[in-house]
Amino acid sequence: MDPALRELLADGDPDEIIEAIVRLAPGTNELPEGVCEISRFAEIATVRIRRSDIERVWAHPSTRSLKAPRALQFDGPEMSPESLSQLFDDGVRPRVPLGNRGKGVVVGVIDWGFDFGHPAFRDQNGRSRIRALWDQGAKGPSPRFGYGKVHTRADINAALNTSRPYTALGYHPGKSDRGAGAHGTHVADIAAGTTRPGGGGVAPEADLVFVHLASGPLSGLANLGDSVRLLEAIDFIAEAAGDQPFVINMSIGRHGGPHTGLTLVEQAFDRFLEAAPDRLLVQSAGNYYLARAHTSGRLQPGGTHVIEWQTNPGDRTPNEIEIWYSDRDTFEVQITPPGANKAVAVKLGDARGLYQKDGSEVARLYHRAYDPNTPDHHIEAFLGPEAPSGTWKIELKGQIIEDGRWHAWIERDSGSRRNQSRLPNSSADPRHTIGSICNGFLPIAVGAAAEDSPTARPAPFASSGPTRDGRQKPDLAAPGFRIQAAKSTPRWSSSPRPRTVKMSGASQAAPHVCGIAAAMLSDLPRGLGIHDLRAHLFNLARPWQRPRQADLPRLGAGLLSSRLIAGGDTEFSKE
C-alpha cells in the first residue's frame, strides 16, 4: 500500500470521508462498492472513500492502484550568493500579443490568489473577462465536487459594480499574498492579461477560468493544495470551456515521486490530453536546482551508501524523504536518528516505526515492493513534528543487484523554507530535479531561461532533467527571470489597487508558453489532437545557439518567446 495512504490510516475518525485517486485494473470500468467517483480520466478517477473502507478498496480486484492526496505548493526560486551575482538590472523584454490574441480560446489557470478587480482581467469597458472562478477553499454550494464556491462572470461583474468588490464577492486575492503579491495574479497576467499601458499577456482576448487551489482536511499531509483537487480543477476547467479550445497553466509542484511520468496524476494528465482534441496542459518544471533535495548513486552487490538527511533545530513540521530503485534489485535499508547508536532496519515489503522513550511514535520507515505504477521498489521515511532534529542517516546496502541505481528526493516542507530539510552540499545532486508531477509524456514542461534570447543560460534556480527513466525534461524553456506582470491588491485594501511587480521562476516561464499556446490554438484549425499540437508548439521554438552541454538538461529543445515569434516569419499554421 502507498505509504502516504497508510499514514492516513494511522489515526482519525473511521467514518471520515477521504479524498483519493484510484486506477482501475485493465478491463474494469466499475469502482468497488462504497466508492464515490468525482472526476474520471479513462481508468483513473478521483474518488471519495470512507476511512474505514480504505484497506478493503485497496485490496479489491478492481483496484490496481490507490493513492492518497499529496501536497502541492508554489515557491520562489532559491538563490545562493553566487547566483545573486548573476542578477540582471532590466529583466527580460515585454511580452507581445500574437496572432488572433487568443480569441475564441479559454485559458485556465490553477494557482493561488486571483485579483479579479485588476485591469489585467477586465476588458476595455471594465467588464470581467473571467468566465468562472472556483475558490476551492471557500464554503458554498458545489454539488458536483462537494467543496468550494464557484463565482460566475455575472457574480464578478456585479461585485465590480460595488465600492468594495472583494467583500461583495467574498473572495480577496490578498489571502495568498506572501509580500510580493499573489502568485496566481502574476501568472495569469503573463499568459492572458488585457493589453494596457505597461502590461498585458500573450493571449489578451482569451476567456479566463481560474481555480484557486486548496487542500482537503488531511491532518497536515497537504498544505495549499493537493493532487486530488488538482485533477478535479482540470475537470472543472474543461467543463467550463465547453466545446472551445483551451490551455491550462499549472505553475505548481513538489519534489518527491518516482520521476518517471507514471504517478497517477501524470497518467491522468496524459489520459486527459488523449481524450479530446484542442486542449493543452502547460507546467512549470520547477525551481529546485539549488534546493539540495536530490541525491543519487549506484550500489554494487554487497556495497553500501549512507544518505545524510539534515533537519533543522526547532523545526516542528513533518519531513519526508523518498528513495526509488529498480524492481530487479533488492536493497537492505536502515535508519539511524540523530545522536543514536542503534539503527532500525526495514526489509523489503515491511515498515517500522521509531519511538521515543515514552512510547510515542516520531518517525516511520516504509520499504514497499513493486509500486503498481512504476513498478519499482520504494523507500519512504516520514518524520513527525516531534522527531529529533539533526542528521538522520539512511544506509542502503546492495543485497541482490542487477541494476543498482537509486535516486532520493527530500519532499518540500509544508511549513516554511527555513524549516526545509536538506542534504549536505557534498552529496546533493542538482540533476533530476524536475518537479514530481512534470515528468509526464504529453503535457508541456517549461524551464526558466535567464534571458529572452536563444543564447540565454538557464535561470540560476531552474530545475534540471532528465527524468529518472532518461527522457528530456523540461520540454522547452521561456523567459523566467525578473518578469514584470500584475501585482494583486494587498489584503488591507477593499478596492482594487492595480500595480505590477517583478517575479522570477519557472512559474513565470510556463504562463508565457501557455499564452503562446492559446494564441496558437486561436489561429489553428479545430480538431487537432495533442501530438499535432505539441508538434506545432515545438516548431515555434528557437533552437539554442552555442549552448553549454551542461545547460541543455535545464533548457529543453528550444526557447519559446512571443517577442521572437512576432519578430520572425513564423506562422502558427505553417507546417
| pLDDT score for 7 | 78
Stretch 457-461: mean pLDDT, rounded?
95
Strand 319-325 to strand 499-503: parallel, antiparallel, or no bridges (unpaired)?
A: unpaired
pLDDT band at 224 (very low <50, low <70, confident <90, very high): low
Average pLDDT, the chain: 91
Give the type of residue at 43.
Answer: E
Q: Which residues are catalytic?
A: 111, 183, 507
Within 13 A of 213's CA, how many CA atoms are on the CB side?
31
Would residue 123 be called left, alpha or beta, if left means φ above 0 and alpha means ψ between -120 and 50 degrees?
beta
Rg (CA), the chain: 23
Residue 104 buriedness (CB in 10 A; 0-12 / 13-18 / 19+)? middle
Total Cβ atoms within 10 A of residue 492: 8
Q: For 339-386, what is each residue's pLDDT tens digit?
A: 998 999 999 999 999 998 888 999 999 999 999 999 999 999 999 999
What value, to the nearest 5°, has the Cα angle with vertex 412 and ends 409 and 416? Answer: 150
Strand, helix or coil for residue 419: helix
Nine-digit cell at 524? 489553428
Residue 5 has pLDDT above 90, yes or no: no
Residue 223 has pLDDT above 70, yes or no: no
Per-residue b/e over 454-467, b at no fewer than 16 CB within 10 Å?
bebbbbbbbbbbbb
450 close to 548: Cβ distance less than 8 angstroms: no
- How far apart CA 280 and CA 3 sit, in angstroms, is 32
Q: For 513-549, what is each residue's pLDDT tens digit?
A: 999 999 999 999 999 999 999 999 999 999 999 999 9
pLDDT band at 314 (very low <50, low <70, confident <90, very high): confident
| pLDDT score for 316 | 84
| pLDDT score for 567 | 83
Residue 69 has pLDDT above 90, yes or no: no
| pLDDT score for 569 | 52
pLDDT higher at 410 or 90:
410
- The residue assigned the cell 525578473 is 482
Residue 249 has pLDDT above 60, yes or no: yes
Backbone angles phi and psi of 324, in degrees to 5: -120, 140
Determine which helix (DSSP H) or strand (DSSP E) holds 236, and give its type and residue range. helix 227-241
Percentage of the chain exceeding pLDDT 90: 78
Per-residue b/e over 241-273, b at no fewer than 16 CB within 10 Å?
beebbbbbbbbbbbbbbbbbbbbbbbbbbbebb
Q: Looking at 172-294, list the stretches that DSSP marks H as alpha helix, in order from N- to C-terminal side.
A: 183-192, 227-241, 264-275
Residue 416 has pLDDT above 70, yes or no: no
Stretch 482-500: mean pLDDT, rounded?
92
| pLDDT score for 253 | 82
Residue 9 has pLDDT above 90, yes or no: no
Residue 565 has pLDDT above 50, yes or no: yes
273 close to 530: Cβ distance less than 8 angstroms: yes
pLDDT band at 317 (very low <50, low <70, confident <90, very high): confident
Nine-digit cell at 512? 508565457
Domains, the chain, ranges and CATH?
3-68 (3.30.70), 93-289+435-567 (3.40.50.200), 295-419 (2.60.120.1290)
Q: For 379-407, what is each residue's pLDDT tens digit?
A: 999 999 999 999 999 999 999 999 999 99
Q: For 86-129, what is each residue's pLDDT tens digit?
A: 444 344 557 899 999 999 999 999 999 999 999 999 999 999 99
557 close to 541: Cβ distance less than 8 angstroms: yes
| pLDDT score for 568 | 73
pLDDT band at 575 (very low <50, low <70, confident <90, very high): very low
| pLDDT score for 573 | 47
- The residue assigned the cell 473511521 is 14
Stretch 416-421: mean pLDDT, rounded?
78
| pLDDT score for 572 | 55
Residue 234 has pLDDT above 60, yes or no: yes
CA distances from 337 to 311, 312, 344, 477, 532 (A): 11, 13, 9, 41, 52
pLDDT higher at 86 or 155:
155
| pLDDT score for 220 | 41
310 close to 419: Cβ distance less than 8 angstroms: no
276 close to 390: Cβ distance less than 8 angstroms: no
Strand 444-449 to strand 476-479: parallel, antiparallel, or no bridges (unpaired)?
A: parallel
Which among 275, 205, 246 is positioned nearest to 40, based on CA atoms? 275
| pLDDT score for 222 | 38
pTM of the predicted structure, to 2 decimals: 0.94
Residue 415 has pLDDT above 70, yes or no: no
